[in-house]
Homo-oligomer: A and B are copies of this chain.
Amino acid sequence: VASLIDVARVAGVSPATASRVLSGSTHAVRGATRERVLAAAESLDFLPNALARGLLKSRVAVVGVIVHDISDPYFSEIVRGVEDAAQEHGYLVITCSSDRVPGKEESYVRLLRAMRAAALIFAGSGIRDAALEAALRRHVAAMERYGAAVVHLSPNFRGQPAVGFDNVGAMASLVGELVRLGHRRIGYLSGQDWLYISGERGRGYRRALRSAGLPFDRRLVIDAPLSLAGGVDGVERLLAVEPRVTAIACANDLLAIGALGRLAELGVRVPDDVSVTGFDDIVWAGRTSPPLSTVRLPMRELGAAGFEHARQMLAGGRPRRRVLDHQLVVRGSSGPPPRRREVQGGQPMAEAELVVAT
């Protein structure tokens, strides 16, 4: 493989001159010399070694992104946004699926640090885990010492993210919409309680209830993981605890889609018997049966903005914190509560009646 030395030799110049031509330096080089170097590089199919350059610069043009799972559409959308922005600037993107397991997250960050990645983006929510957070602080400090930019896109141990969403407000407006439709007993599938993001979205749910003067019933909040399986399981548990819910708000679309599937199996009609809402608006939310009412978060834009934030930091700037806009998307999975129940008011209802539509 040709090195800069080879190019210099073929062009009949010193490596220093060859470097100045090939690395985009501003140092002046005579036109004819420049041509000779370019021709030599071309003929040798020379490509500068990014490792050598990175060693010198103490960091390499790579951005690591920590996600929960790259096959989760929420995260693949974000990564796509990072990728697009990164590519424009010649950066490569490393994806790390932590599965929200502290050990995996730490191990990925360690590898990224060893690689001297120029930027580290935490796309997913922070995990409440003292040992992990201590390790993360250490790694992040070390990375910042060698000049890396570290950016969070979700709430975490450092607080609010550099670029993010108004999770509280968005969830509050979505649940508020259910209240407006007439729902009074609204269940909530909340996501793992040791995720910072669950705290935020749960706060939105409670805020909406409070604004409507509705009581908060702890039993209606089910701590189900943010996944399809979590939705399947969570909706089951919720109905077992309180079959009279007329609406189920979910902390993300995956939970809601899982719930939708299980409700269909149980013969519970959506939205006739129960309304269901998601959060995120992944592309598949519009194609479920019925289509999911949710909140649209511009995930791709988030990823791009996250990279941009990092890039500005690398350029020595102090970019401002940003909160990207969300949008309510009302589709077919939400509607007014069933009449019969309104008539019954707060009366307990036999479980059989809930699945009357079977």
Contact = CB atoms under 8 A, between A and B. Distances in A.
In the complex, the count of this chain's copies comes to 2
Interface stretch (A67-75, A176-184, A235-243, A266-274): A67-75
A142 to B, nearest CB: 6
Contact of A50 (B77, B79, B114): B114
B83 A95 contact: yes
Contact of A116 (B49, B69, B300): B49
A200 B289 CA distance: 33
Contacts of A55: 49, 51-52, 55
Interface stretch (A104-112, A310-318, A347-355): A104-112
A45 interface: yes
A97 B96 CA distance: 16
B49 A114 contact: yes
Contacts of A287: 257, 261, 284, 287-289
Interface string A1-35: 10000000000000000000000000000000000
B95 A79 contact: yes
A276 interface: no
Contacts of A146: 1
B70 A76 contact: yes
A169 interface: no
Closest 10 CB pairs of A and B: A289-B289, A50-B114, A71-B76, A76-B76, A71-B80, A51-B54, A50-B115, A51-B55, A1-B146, A51-B51
